[in-house]
């Protein structure tokens, strides 16, 4: 028989006689975790696209004065920031074991919760913003805008007139307080509707810290700085206002901290050049970084305050600077450079870990560069400020920083007390702020007890950011010398930190540079040395206890530079 016929018969026999392969098993249904992972990924992509759109509009408004309607960007996304989606993220967090994934989910959930609260409180927020913009008060027969009060107090030479201005604003403050009270009550309700045990519990997650433990640090700082603060304020009051500190009121504070000694050293045309030169020594040339765009146009409708906007991290980072003079403007430019460098050198690809999350780490990098204005070597090198002029300026700026640290500590303690049951907010404000400012509280002061509140313990970010910046500065000086901004190796060290984006918490950044956690010692030592008043802490309290392992590897220090803990002279 022909071979082809034999082959055909063999195949036919096999088809008819050989057992058939079993049908394929149906695909396994996705687990709850797999389903949630896909859904949450889609939600994150929508949130990222919306945030990028909003930031582009804000950029046009900020730089060119174009009208912007952020509310319109939410059209079609009404169901995005919903309680249902927030609970999906919370459920996925419960099912997730990976530390890095848990960090990303927490950041995303906090963002969604914040957007949900903003939507639900939009009516209150709009009413408060409109009221604040329109509020005026009468003093000496003329109408004064409420928003101009701080500026007017800083510029007013007469102590009597300053107090009259301050007191005349109370009726406007009481009107504003009524709206703030209604919003606060609604916020408490909404936070519980989201499933959080309390306002404090939500805020602790938002700030990525244990607020109760942070309050211990705040209390310790108030105690340790109480007497040095009085000494410093007495000197400053006599020098700046020719008055004893005991006779000052809060109406005098804006005038007390005016920077006058070095204003001429920071002319309008040099603020951007000086910031640029300060980072060039680190081996960083922003003109060669296409992902960082600096808009230095002097447009008539441009907002005069510098601003960094991260449209898409790290591909599209924008810095707006309108030329202006003065030390305050220079400080703000350097502050925004810190943000731009952090975003621009980020290598984290995950949106949640690059763009979202608690801002403390970013604030620390910004404070690091802003603090160059309090470095005697930098002041002489970049601004020609030296001798008695420099000494007087540093005394005033360091006194102001000490005041701000104490004010943040006091606000933290006040906020915690307010949001715990059974607290008389007005009486608590009087007791804590009288101690914080070391000034008797007048009725005009206590009338501000609601205006002086913050959303979700906002002071906690600056509070920790200042201390972390002090530790960063101490480490940079210990590793690379007093003028660390001249060292390319210091630049490489910072780039290794910036590359992590927001994937590391503030505590983890502190540990990555060789510290045990966020602690105020280095900054307080620097301030005490400059002000010539010893400041010592009785205990070594850090801002939070050890946390789970970091979600991303910490940057290794350069091999030629050991990683010492900050030494007593590291911040000098």
DSSP 375-401: -HHHHHHHH---HHHHHHHHHHHHHHH
Task: Give the number of other Cβ atoms within 10 Å of residue 221's Cβ.
Answer: 24
User: Is residue 109 one of the residues assigned to a domain?
Assistant: yes
pLDDT at 420: 85
Helix (H) or strand (E) holding 490: helix 488-498
Q: Which residues contact 177 (CB under 8 A, 6 or more apart)?
A: 447, 449, 450, 451
User: What pLDDT is attached to residue 46?
Assistant: 97
Q: What is the pLDDT of residue 547?
A: 43
Confirm whether 36 is domain-assigned.
Answer: yes
- The pLDDT, as a whole number, for residue 540 is 56
pLDDT score of 18: 53
Tell me whether residue 416 is in a domain. no
Would 80 be classed as within a structural domain? Answer: yes
Give the model's pLDDT for residue 19.
55
State the pTM of this model.
0.88
Report if residue 472 sits inside a domain: no
- Tally Cβ neighbours within 10 Å of residue 434: 16
Please identify which residue in the block is written with the tokens 């082809």: 4
Q: What is the pLDDT of residue 550?
A: 38
Report, in angstroms and rounded to the nearest whole number, the Rg of the chain calculated over CA atoms: 28
Q: Residue 58's domain spans which residues? A: 32-120
Per-residue pLDDT of the chain (572 residues; tens, 9 = 90+): 444 444 444 444 444 445 566 666 566 778 999 999 999 999 999 999 999 999 999 999 999 999 888 888 998 888 999 999 999 999 999 999 999 999 999 999 999 999 999 999 989 998 998 999 899 999 988 999 999 999 899 999 999 999 999 999 999 999 999 999 999 999 999 999 998 999 999 999 999 899 999 999 999 999 999 999 999 999 999 999 999 999 999 999 999 988 777 888 999 889 999 999 999 999 999 889 999 999 999 999 999 999 999 999 999 999 999 999 999 999 999 999 999 999 999 999 999 999 999 999 999 999 999 999 999 999 999 999 999 999 999 999 999 999 999 999 999 999 999 988 767 899 999 999 999 999 999 999 999 999 998 899 999 999 999 999 999 999 999 999 999 999 999 999 999 999 999 999 999 999 999 999 999 999 999 999 999 999 988 655 555 554 443 343 333 343 333 343 443 333 32
Strand pairing class (292-295; 136-139) = unpaired
For residue 258, the SS3 value is coil
**Is residue 361, in this structure, part of any structural domain at all?**
no
Phi, psi of 458 (to 5 degrees): -60, -30
CA 512 to each of CA 378, 452, 498: distance values in angstroms, whole numbers, following the listed order: 26, 35, 12
For residue 49, being part of any structural domain is answered with: yes
What pLDDT was estimated at residue 554?
Answer: 37
Residue 533 lies in a domain: no
Number of domains in the chain: 1
Q: How far is CA 475 from CA 10, 284, 482, in A?
A: 82, 20, 10
- Per-state percent for the chain, helix, strand, coil, to nearest 5: 65, 5, 35
CB 233 within 8 A of CB 400: no
């Amino acid at each position: 028989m022909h071979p082809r016929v034999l082959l055909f018969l063999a195949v036919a026999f096999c088809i008819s006689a050989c057992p058939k392969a079993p049908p394929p098993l149906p695909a396994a249904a996705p687990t709850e975790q797999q389903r949630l992972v896909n859904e949450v990924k889609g939600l994150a992509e929508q949130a990222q696209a919306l945030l990028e759109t909003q930031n582009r509009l804000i950029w046009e408004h900020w730089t060119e004065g174009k009208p912007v309607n952020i509310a319109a960007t939410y059209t079609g996304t009404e169901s995005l920031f919903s309680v249902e989606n927030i609970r999906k993220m919370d459920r996925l967090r419960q099912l997730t074991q990976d530390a890095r994934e848990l960090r990303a989910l927490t950041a995303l959930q906090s963002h969604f919760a914040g957007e949900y609260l903003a939507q639900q409180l939009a009516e209150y927020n709009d009413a408060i913003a409109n009221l604040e913009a329109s509020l005026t008060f009468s003093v000496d027969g003329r109408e004064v805008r409420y928003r101009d009060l701080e500026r007017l107090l800083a510029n007013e030479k007469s102590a009597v007139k300053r107090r009259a201005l301050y007191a005349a604003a109370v009726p406007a403050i009481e009107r504003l307080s009524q709206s703030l009270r209604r919003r606060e009550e609604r916020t408490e309700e909404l936070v519980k509707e989201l499933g959080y045990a309390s306002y404090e519990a939500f805020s602790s997650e938002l700030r990525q810290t244990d607020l109760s433990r942070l309050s211990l640090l705040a209390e310790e700082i108030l105690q340790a700085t109480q007497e040095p603060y009085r000494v410093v304020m007495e000197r400053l009051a006599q020098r700046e206002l020719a008055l004893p500190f005991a006779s000052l009121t809060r109406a005098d504070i804006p005038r007390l901290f005016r920077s006058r000694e070095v204003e001429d050293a920071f002319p309008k045309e040099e603020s951007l050049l000086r910031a640029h030169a300060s980072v060039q020594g680190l081996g960083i040339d922003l003109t060669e970084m296409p992902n960082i765009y600096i808009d230095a146009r002097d447009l008539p409708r441009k907002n005069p305050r510098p601003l960094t906007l991260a449209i898409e991290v790290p591909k599209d980072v924008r810095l707006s600077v309108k030329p202006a003079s003065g030390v305050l403007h220079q400080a703000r430019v350097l502050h925004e450079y810190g943000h731009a460098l952090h975003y621009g050198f980020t290598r984290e690809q995950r949106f949640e870990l690059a763009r979202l999350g608690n801002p403390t780490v970013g604030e620390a990098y910004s404070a690091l560069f802003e603090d160059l204005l309090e470095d005697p070597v930098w002041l002489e090198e970049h601004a020609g400020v030296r001798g008695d002029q420099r000494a007087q300026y540093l005394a005033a700026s360091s006194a102001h920083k000490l005041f701000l640290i104490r004010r943040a500590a006091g606000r933290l303690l006040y906020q915690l007390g307010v949001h715990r049951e059974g607290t008389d907010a007005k009486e608590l404000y009087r007791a804590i702020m009288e101690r914080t400012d070391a000034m008797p509280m007048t009725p005009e002061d206590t009338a501000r007890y609601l205006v002086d509140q913050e959303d979700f313990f906002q002071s906690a970010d600056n509070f920790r950011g200042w201390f972390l910046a002090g530790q960063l500065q101490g480490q940079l000086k210990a590793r690379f010398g007093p003028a660390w901004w001249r060292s390319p190796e210091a630049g490489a060290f910072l780039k290794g930190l910036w590359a992590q984006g927001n994937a590391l918490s503030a505590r983890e950044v502190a540990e990555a540079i060789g510290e045990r956690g966020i602690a105020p010692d280095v900054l307080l030592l620097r301030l005490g040395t400059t002000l010539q008043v010893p400041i010592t802490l009785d205990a070594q309290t850090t801002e939070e206890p050890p946390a789970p392992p970091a979600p991303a590897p910490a940057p290794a220090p350069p091999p030629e530079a050991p990683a010492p803990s900050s030494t007593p002279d590291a911040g000098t």
